Amino acid sequence: MELMGIIFSNIYDEHLGEVTKQRTLASLPFGGRYRLIDFVLSNMVNSEITNVGVITKSNYQSLMDHLGKGKEWDLDRKIDGLFILPPFGTGQKTVYRDKIEALWGAKRYLERSNEEYVLMSDSNIICSIDYTEVLKQHILAKADITMVTRKEEIKDKSNIKGIAVKTNTRRRVTDVLVNYNRPGIEQCGMGMYLLKRKLLLELLEEANSYNLLDFDRDIIQAKHKKLKIMVWEHKGTALRIDSTQSYFEANMALLDKEVRDAVFRGEGFVYTKVRDEVPTYYGRKSEVENCLIADGCRIEGRAENCVLFRGVTVAEGAAVKNSILMQDTHVGKDVSLDYIITDKEVEITDGRMLMGAPQHQIIINKGKIV
Amino acid sequence: MKMQKKKKCIAMLLAGGQGSRLGVLTKNIAKPAVPFGGKYRIIDFTLSNCVNSGIDTVGVLTQYKPMELNEYIGNGQPWGLDRNSGGVHILQPFTKIKSKEWYKGTANAIYQNELFIEQYEPTHVLVLSGDHIYKMDYAKMLAEHENNHADCTIAVIDVPLSEASRFGIMNTREDGSIYEFEEKPKEPKSTKASMGVYIFRWDVMKKYLEQDSKDENSDNDFGKNIIPAMLSDGCNMHAYAFGGYWKDVGTIESLWEANMDLLSGDSALSLEDNELKVYARNYDCPPTYIFEGAKISGAMITKGCEIKGCVENSIISSECIIGEGAVIKNSVLFPGTVVEQNAEVNFAILGTGVHIGEGAKVGETDFSAAEKKKQKITVLGSRFLLEANGAVQAGEMLEAQS
């Protein structure tokens, strides 16, 4: 056991508005039957990581409910396993403000662990990565920190709190740009860092004594000359979720077979919580095209270019297009939906017509009856 | 030292039968492990019934080709049967000091596991078969069993008089007590067919099992030996009338029909109903993707499939691939089956991992002619490979070349 994992569950919550109002970003439903955290957690498990700490901040009930004891990821173990790390409050400081403080709160967990290396990751990127390859390169290059990056096109006015790096030919980081949003193609950080556990603790100790908060700015940027920071470039598919628009687009991207295969049939299985659903029933008059459909649905009407989560029903005469319907959404008779995102347990009553737009989907909050 | 908590009622599930009438489908697996309804195995129904009835101790008696069944049941976690006290236990035949023997009959199988039962000191023992499809709350039956102070209660279901001679028939008095049991009677006196679900008082059952084991001429069978012996001794035996859906899926025909019943809509067997939910072991695969141009009507499709063709009135298990222009009608596809483009399948059961080549035909694929009369079911065993443009006639049963 050389490598342990740390997952940040809340880092980008504020960018997604309504859908993360009542849950962590990590527990945001995605792809019909998953939550965002399933992807990074499955990557870790598929990379033989058996000690994973999940750092939480607020609204983490849904995340706790989803993860349970980690059974579905085979992380319910006698030795190591899954640890949920709620904010560790001392005195006035109850909730952390940024990554460094968050890690500081998990200091005792880090100290108690035995693995030599730590892989830290955000939970907002959908991809399939074998972290043992990252570790191999890290050791071979004698790096202090290895960051996972990907060549990405930065679009105008991207609201991503991103980090872009310049490297020399041997992939060593020579310059670091934080909050970078000038349009162009850059080597962008994927929020995944691999380093020695002892080094992380030292860096945290030092940062804490200077009251520093931002891991990207105060450690990666400030120390990139002193430390040997290397990049490991992920060349495969990756879907970054940092806004409602990118959330919608990432779901829709799964309708493409290549993307699906890259995400679901990459380095290993993607695991998630079991819900004991029946197979989906397609009625005699149903018409379904270009849809990703989970178990437990009942479709009597029409669905086109949609992602339907577990337990969704679409009644006769209804037509749902370009939409994402989360778990247990019920669509009534003769309803028409276009560019709609419904949160869990939404009910659309008979005959309603709701239309969003390709660049602006309408989000219907959890449990609402329309 | 006492290892186990005392239990009021434990279940013994008979899962050792070969299921020879299912032919190639049970070539390498026990009948209870045969896939059903897209994501289940036959045994899921009885195991889930136990859990939903508050019975948390289940002994599963296996004998014929048990590997896959054992692996499927595992530690019982999918059914919530991974318990500190009780839980699910696989009970294989084992060698004794003086004898090395297989389970000889249903009663003998239970008798050989007397010590397993004894450690829970149960008041009652529920005996079940692992090859029936039904959703039932055994707790209600147990309550009636206790109210009647019965030595044995046998669940019965009303069958049409014309079919009664295919079953074990219970003849009862007005108060539900049984005075006669007839195995497959030529002229049935009642329509109360035994479902193969029994509750015995353990002390009484134990006495009869021991007695039966000493009789060398006995078949060691509940229906043939134990029940008649108890009746002739005047034991207090009652019939418990069950009103729901129940089907013995021991034949190809009945297995196919039970699957089709899931699609009929008016079937009393509702899997969507959250009461008495049926649990199954879960395999991780992504949601199903339906391509542009696919046509699906009146079908159940499990996760992990990719559908390009036409699926009508069929059950498709997980991770099946249906190619462009392929037509699947009135059929049951087990997990991992691939039907390549323009292939046609009608009135068939395709085993796990069957591969149907491009343009091949399985069963009566003159669809207009097939609608008119009921067809014979075509069956292909697991991993059967049908080459492109190949054909399998209606009613044939073929197994993969090894």
Q: Tell me the pLDDT tens digit for each residue of A320-365.
A: 999 999 999 999 999 999 999 999 999 999 999 999 999 999 999 9
* pLDDT at residue A88, as a whole number: 66
Q: Do residues B314 and B299 make contact, with C-beta atoms less than 8 angstroms apart?
A: yes
Contacts of B289 in chain A (CB under 8 A): 255, 257, 260, 291-293
Distance CA A258, CA A154 (A): 22
Share of chain B above pLDDT 70, in %: 98
Beta bridge mates, B344: B327, B361
Token pair, residue A369, equals: 């009856």
Q: Is B129 strand, coil or helix?
A: strand
Q: Is A267 part of the contact surface with chain B (CB cutoff 8 Å)?
A: no
For chain A, the residue count is: 370
Report pLDDT digits (tens) over B334-374. Answer: 999 999 999 999 999 999 999 999 999 999 887 777 666 67
**Sheet with strand B327-329: strands edge to edge:** B295-297, B310-312, B327-329, B344-346, B361-362, B391-392
Nearest to A292 among B39, B287, B302 (CB): B287
Q: How far is A112 from chain B (nearest CA, A)?
A: 29
Contacts of B300 in chain A (CB under 8 A): 278-282
Place of tokens 């079991």: A274
Return phi, psi of residue A252, to 5°.
Answer: -65, -30
CB spacing of B302 vs A280 below 8 angstroms: yes
Judged against a pLDDT cut of 70, whether residue B266 lies above it is answered with no
* pLDDT at residue A265, as a whole number: 83
Question: Which parts of B164-247 fold into alpha helices (H)?
Answer: 202-214, 227-232
Distance CA A60, CA A140 (A): 38
Q: How far is B329 from chain A (nearest CA, A)?
A: 13
Of A44-53, A87-96, B315-324, B378-387, the poorest mean pLDDT is in A87-96
Q: What is the mean pLDDT of chain A?
A: 90
Distance CA B298, CA A30 (A): 27
Token pair, residue A76, equals: 């319910």
Interface test with A, best of B289, B311, B329 (most A CBs within 10 A): B289
CB spacing of B300 vs A272 below 8 angstroms: no
* pLDDT at residue A93, as a whole number: 54
Q: Do residues B327 and B344 make contact, with C-beta atoms less than 8 angstroms apart?
A: yes
Tally C-beta pairs within 8 A across A and B: 102
Judged against a pLDDT cut of 80, whether residue B110 lies above it is answered with yes
Judged against a pLDDT cut of 90, whether residue B299 lies above it is answered with yes
Query: Which of B164, B118, B276, B360 lies closest to A276, judged by CA?
Result: B276
Distance CA B288, CA A293 (A): 5
Q: Which amino acid belongs to residue A7?
A: I
Place of tokens 């990581």: A49
Nearest to B290 among A33, A257, A289 (CB): A289
Q: How far is B318 from chain A (nearest CA, A)?
A: 9
Contacts of A280 in chain B (CB under 8 A): 288, 300-302
Judged against a pLDDT cut of 60, whether residue A263 lies above it is answered with yes
Band (B278; pLDDT cuts 50, 70, 90): very high
Place of tokens 């692992």: B130
Q: C-alpha angle A194/A199/A200, rounded to 5°?
A: 65
CB spacing of A282 vs B279 below 8 angstroms: no
Nearest to A295 among B277, B299, B302 (CB): B302
Judged against a pLDDT cut of 90, whether residue B18 lies above it is answered with no
Query: Alpha-carbon dihedral of residues A183, A186, A192, A195, nearest 10 degrees?
Result: -140
Residue A172 DSSP symbol: B
For residue B163, count other CB atoms closer than 10 A to its CB. Answer: 11
Band (A62; pLDDT cuts 50, 70, 90): confident
Token pair, residue A91, equals: 């005195």
Question: Which parts of A210-295 fold into alpha helices (H)?
Answer: 222-223, 244-253, 257-264
Q: Is A69 part of the contact surface with chain B (CB cutoff 8 Å)?
A: no
Contacts of B37 in chain A (CB under 8 A): 278-279
Report pLDDT digits (tens) over A187-246. Answer: 999 999 999 999 999 999 999 899 888 899 999 999 999 999 999 999 999 999 988 888
Distance CA B8, CA A212 (A): 62
Distance CA A13, CA A156 (A): 21
Nearest to A289 among B39, B292, B311 (CB): B292
Of A101-110, A150-159, B195-204, the poorest mean pLDDT is in A150-159
Q: Is A279 part of the contact surface with chain B (CB cutoff 8 Å)?
A: yes
* pLDDT at residue B379, as a whole number: 96
* pLDDT at residue A159, as a whole number: 53
Query: How would you classify the pairing of strands B57-61 and B168-172?
Result: unpaired
Token pair, residue B93, equals: 């035949």
By CA distance, what is B317's nearest residue in A?
A279
Place of tokens 């508050």: B54
Report pLDDT digits (tens) over B113-125. Answer: 999 999 999 999 9
Query: Which of A312, A310, A308, A309 lies closest to A275, judged by CA?
Result: A310
Distance linking the first and last C-alpha atoms of chain B: 51
Distance linking the first and last C-alpha atoms of chain A: 51
Contacts of B298 (CB under 8 A, 6+ apart): A282, A283, A284, B263, B312, B313
Q: Do residues B117 and B124 make contact, with C-beta atoms less than 8 angstroms apart?
A: no
* pLDDT at residue B4, as a whole number: 78
Distance CA A232, CA A119 (A): 13
CB spacing of A279 vs B286 below 8 angstroms: no
Of B15-24, B190-199, B245-254, B306-315, the poorest mean pLDDT is in B15-24
Q: C-alpha angle A336/A339/A340, rounded to 5°?
A: 75
Q: Is A271 part of the contact surface with chain B (CB cutoff 8 Å)?
A: yes
Q: Is A151 strand, coil or helix?
A: strand
* pLDDT at residue A98, as a whole number: 80
Burial code of A162-178, b = ≥16 C-beta within 10 A, e = fewer? bbbbebeeebebeebbb
Mark out chain B residues that contact chain A at CB-CB < 8 A. Answer: 37-39, 77-78, 263, 271-272, 277-280, 282, 284-303, 306, 311, 315-317
* pLDDT at residue B273, as a whole number: 78
Instruction: Output B328 or B94, whichever has higher pLDDT.
Output: B328
Q: Do residues A228 and A172 make contact, with C-beta atoms less than 8 angstroms apart?
A: yes
Q: Do residues B126 and B12 make contact, with C-beta atoms less than 8 angstroms apart?
A: yes
By CA distance, what is B278's nearest residue in A?
A276
Q: Is A31 part of the contact surface with chain B (CB cutoff 8 Å)?
A: yes
Nearest to A269 among B284, B292, B300 (CB): B284
Q: What is the mean pLDDT of chain B?
A: 92
Judged against a pLDDT cut of 60, whether residue A160 lies above it is answered with no
Nearest to A270 among B78, B284, B316 (CB): B284
Judged against a pLDDT cut of 70, whether residue A278 lies above it is answered with yes
Return phi, psi of residue B307, to 5°.
Answer: -115, 120
Query: Alpha-carbon dihedral of residues B396, B383, A32, A301, nearest 10 degrees?
Result: -20
Q: Is A105 strand, coil or helix?
A: helix
Report pLDDT digits (tens) over A235-245. Answer: 999 999 988 88
Q: Do residues B380 and B354 make contact, with C-beta atoms less than 8 angstroms apart?
A: yes
Token pair, residue A170, equals: 């041997």
Of all helices (H) and strands (E), which one includes residue A324?
Answer: strand A324-325
Instruction: Output B232 or A95, whichever has higher pLDDT.
Output: B232
* pLDDT at residue B122, as a whole number: 96
Distance CA A49, CA A118 (A): 10
By CA distance, what is A272's nearest residue in B?
B284
User: For the whole model, what pTM was predicted?
Assistant: 0.91
Q: Which amino acid belongs to residue A304?
A: E
Contacts of A272 in chain B (CB under 8 A): 284
Nearest to B289 among A281, A287, A292 (CB): A292
* C-alpha pair distances (Å), A167 with each of A45, A172, B38, B366: 30, 5, 52, 66
Band (A24; pLDDT cuts 50, 70, 90): confident
Query: How would you classify the pairing of strands B152-158 and B40-41?
Result: unpaired
* pLDDT at residue A7, as a whole number: 95
Beta bridge mates, B383: none
Burial code of A255-273, b = ≥16 C-beta within 10 A, e = fewer? beeebbebbbebbebbbbb
Distance CA B358, CA B74 (A): 38
Q: How far is B303 from chain A (nearest CA, A)?
A: 6
Return phi, psi of residue B284, to 5°.
Answer: -80, 115
Nearest to B300 among A276, A281, A308 (CB): A281
Return phi, psi of residue B200, to 5°.
Answer: -115, 145
Q: What sign results for the dihedral spanned by CA atoms A29, B52, B71, A296?
A: negative
Q: Say how many CA atoms lie within 13 Å of A137 toward its Cβ.
A: 20
Distance CA B223, CA B401 (A): 39
Nearest to A284 among B39, B298, B317 (CB): B298
Distance CA B195, CA B211 (A): 25
Distance CA A341, CA A363 (A): 5
Most confident of A84-88, A131-135, B219-223: A131-135
Beta bridge mates, B91: B61
Interface test with B, best of A276, A287, A313, A314 (most B CBs within 10 A): A276
Interface test with A, best of B51, B133, B274, B284 (most A CBs within 10 A): B284
* pLDDT at residue A92, as a whole number: 52
Report pLDDT digits (tens) over B188-232. Answer: 999 999 999 999 999 999 999 999 999 989 899 998 899 999 999
* pLDDT at residue B134, as a whole number: 95
CB spacing of B293 vs A289 below 8 angstroms: yes
Q: Is A327 part of the contact surface with chain B (CB cutoff 8 Å)?
A: no
Token pair, residue B145, equals: 């069993």
Q: How far is A264 from chain B (nearest CA, A)?
A: 7
Distance CA B89, CA B96 (A): 19
Token pair, residue B204, equals: 């009484």
- A298: alpha, beta or left, given left = phi > 0 and alpha = psi -120 to 50? beta
Q: Is A252 part of the contact surface with chain B (CB cutoff 8 Å)?
A: no
For residue B1, count other CB atoms closer than 10 A to its CB. Answer: 2
* pLDDT at residue A18, as a whole number: 73
Mean pLDDT of A122-146: 95
Token pair, residue A319, equals: 């037509």
Residue A51 DSSP symbol: E
Contacts of B266 (CB under 8 A, 6+ apart): none
Q: How far is B391 from chain A (nearest CA, A)?
A: 28
Beta bridge mates, A175: A166
Q: What sign results for the dihedral spanned by CA atoms A174, A177, A183, A185?
A: positive
Beta bridge mates, B393: none
